[in-house]
Amino acid sequence: MKYEYDAVVIGGGAAGLTASGIAANFGAKTMMVERDKLGGDCTWTGCIPSKTLIKAASVVHNTLQSKKYGIDISCDDFDLSELMKHVDEVRNEIYEDADRPEIFENMGIDVVQGSASFLDQHTLNIEQLDGTDRKVTSKFIFICTGSSPFVPPIPGLDRVDYLTNESLFELNNIPKSITIIGAGPIGCEMAQSFARLGLEVTVLDMADRILLNDDPELTEILKTSMENEGVTFELNVSVQKVDPIDNGTRVFFQKNDEVSSVDSDSLLVATGRRPNLEGLNLEAAGINYSKKGIEVNDSCRTSQRHIYAAGDVTGRYQLTHMSDHMAKTAVTKALLKVPFKIDKKHVPWVTFTDPELGHVGATLPDLKKSGTSFETYQFPFVKIDRAITDGNTTGLIKIYAKKWSGKILGASVVGAHAGEMISQYALAMKNGVTLRDFADTIHPYPSYGLGARRAADQWYIKNQSETLVKWIKRIFRYRGEIPDYSDPNRIV
C-alpha cells in the first residue's frame, strides 16, 4: 500500500464524473480533482445550455408557425435576459441534482478543487485555490481534462469581442445580427436557434457543405430547411480578416477570387475543439501526446500502463456520451483487468437542429473505402403518419445493410426525433438485430419509431423476387397484378 490513493481522476466533466463514480463503486480509494466547477463543458457551456436555448427558440418558432396547425397564437417581443436566466436556472438544476461535490463525497470520493500536474509517473501536484500545493500519489491515474474551443489565428480577431461556446450563454441582451464562423454541429444548432429568435444570421465555412461527417443528401435537406428559416450560408470560403466597426464586427471572406464582407452585431467562433493539455506536465510522467490529444489505445491506456485518458482530451471523440463510454472502459480495464475496449463500430452522434440529424455505424465513404458490399434502404418522413399529424414531414431515413442477411452496417436519419430513432438502430447494430428482425418487431402506431421499422421493411421489399412472386401467383392461382420490380427506388 505504497500509494495514498488507488485512483486519482483529473477533471470533473462527463468523463471524470463517470470515472470517479465507477472507481469508487469498485471499492477503490478515489480522488477527483477539478479546477473549476464539476459538470464540465457539458453542464455549463455545452450540451445543457445549448439544448435549453434550442428548446426556447423552438417554442418561439412553433408559436409563430401556429397557423399551420389551425390556430393563431401571437408572439410578443421577449426579453433575452429572461431567456438566459432560464438557461442558467437549468444549468444549476442539473448541477444540484447530479454534479455538486457533496454527491460524490457521499460516495466516498475526495473532491478537490485545484489544478493538477504530474511530478512523476505516480505523483501529482495539486495547486489548490488557497495557493497552497498538495502532493498526492496514486496507483492509477485517469486524465479527463476535456477540451476547449479552438480559435483559429484570423487576423484582427484579437481586436474584436467575439463569442465561443464558453461565453455565448452569458449574453444578457439580444443582438440584431450574428455571424458564425463554422458550420459544424455547434454552428448549425446556434445558427438556427438565433434565426428563430429573430436575428439575422450568416454562417461562414471553408468546406463546400455543412456537417462534413454526415451524409451529403441529408445535410442538404437540413441546410435547405435552415435557409427557409432565414439562415444565410456562405460556404467554400476563406475568412481573411475581422475588423471592428461601430457596435459590431465586419468579417471579410474570399470565395474563388472575390472578396466580400458581412457586418453583424455579434461574432461566434465555432471552429472545433482542442484538448486541454496545458499545465499537466505530461513529460514528467512519460506520457505520449500531440496537439491532437493524449495518445491512447482502444482500452484508453496511455503510453504508461497505469495511466489512462478518456474523453475529449484524447482527441478521438468529442461527444459527451463517448466521454462517458471511454471513462467506463478505462476504469473497468484498469481496476478489474478485464479485456474491455471502446466500441468503435457503434458510435452514434446527433446534431440537434430542426430537423435533427443523426448517424450511427459506417458512413458511405467508409463502406466504399473498405470495399464492403451493401444495399441502401430509404424511407421518407412524408410516409410516416405521425410526422404528417405533427407537421414534421421534412426528413429521410437511410440505412446501409447487407443484401441477403439484412445486417445493418450504418444508418442516418434527418427528421423530427432523429436522435431517438438513431438510438434504435444503434441498439440493433450492437446486438446483431438484422433488418428482418427489426421489420418483424411490433412498433406502436402512430409513432416515429414505427417509421424506423417501416424503413427496415424496405429490406423485404427490395429482396422480393419477381420470379418467386410469379411462381406463387401460378401455384395459388392468384389474379392480381405483379408490382414493378424494375424500379430500384420503389418504396412501400
Give residue-wise pLDDT tens across range 160-178: 999 999 999 888 777 899 9
Report yes or no on 198 lying in a domain.
yes
pLDDT of 263 higher than 80: yes
Q: What pLDDT, on a 0 to 100 scale, did the predictor assign at position 481?
A: 84
Give yes or no: residues 318 and 425 share one domain: no
Q: Is 182 annotated as a binding residue?
A: yes
pLDDT, the chain, mean: 94
Give yes or no: residues 139 and 260 share one domain: no
Q: Is 189 annotated as a binding residue?
A: yes
Give residue-wise pLDDT tens across range 30-83: 999 999 999 999 999 999 999 999 999 999 888 888 888 888 787 767 777 788
Quote the CA–CA distance of 198 and 123 in Å, as a whole number.
53
Give yes or no: residues 281 and 320 share one domain: yes
pLDDT of 278 higher than 80: yes
Q: How many domains does the chain have?
A: 3
Q: What pLDDT, on a 0 to 100 scale, did the predictor assign at position 1?
A: 61
Report yes or no on 413 lying in a domain.
yes
Specify the CATH number for the domain of residue 468: 3.30.390.30
- Could you give the angle at the alpha carbon of 229 between the alpha carbons of 225 and 230, nearest 5°? 120
- The partner residues of 261 in beta bridges, in order of sequence, read 252
The model's pTM: 0.93
Q: What pLDDT, on a 0 to 100 scale, did the predictor assign at position 71?
A: 85
Specify the CATH number for the domain of residue 303: 3.50.50.60
Report yes or no on 245 lying in a domain.
yes
Domain stops at, among 235, 250, 271: 271
Report yes or no on 84 lying in a domain.
no
Domain stops at, among 223, 249, 271: 271
Give yes or no: residues 223 and 323 share one domain: no
Give yes or no: residues 453 and 390 share one domain: yes
Q: Is 272 annotated as a binding residue?
A: yes
Give yes or no: residues 286 and 140 share one domain: yes
Which domain, by its residues, includes 181? 157-271
Report yes or no on 365 lying in a domain.
yes
Report yes or no on 28 lying in a domain.
yes
Q: Is 146 annotated as a binding residue?
A: yes
Give yes or no: residues 205 and 171 share one domain: yes
Give yes or no: residues 109 and 186 share one domain: no
Give yes or no: residues 143 and 242 share one domain: no
Give residue-wise pLDDT tens across range 206-223: 999 999 999 999 999 999
Q: Is 14 annotated as a binding residue?
A: no
Q: Is 39 annotated as a binding residue?
A: no
Give yes or no: residues 111 and 216 share one domain: no
pLDDT band for position 155 (cuts 50, 70, 90): very high
Quote the CA–CA distance of 282 and 279 in Å, as a whole number.
8
How many angstroms separate the most distant Cα atoms in the chain? 90
Give yes or no: residues 144 and 281 share one domain: yes
Grid cell, residue 100, equals: 455538486
Average pLDDT on 424-428 reads 97
Cell 421489420, residue located: 439
Q: Is 185 annotated as a binding residue?
A: yes
Give yes or no: residues 169 and 218 share one domain: yes
Q: Is 480 annotated as a binding residue?
A: no
Name the nearest CA neighbour of 412 among 217, 272, 274, 149.
217
Domain stops at, among 293, 309, 336: 336
Average pLDDT on 91-118 reads 96
Report yes or no on 43 lying in a domain.
no
Report yes or no on 382 lying in a domain.
yes
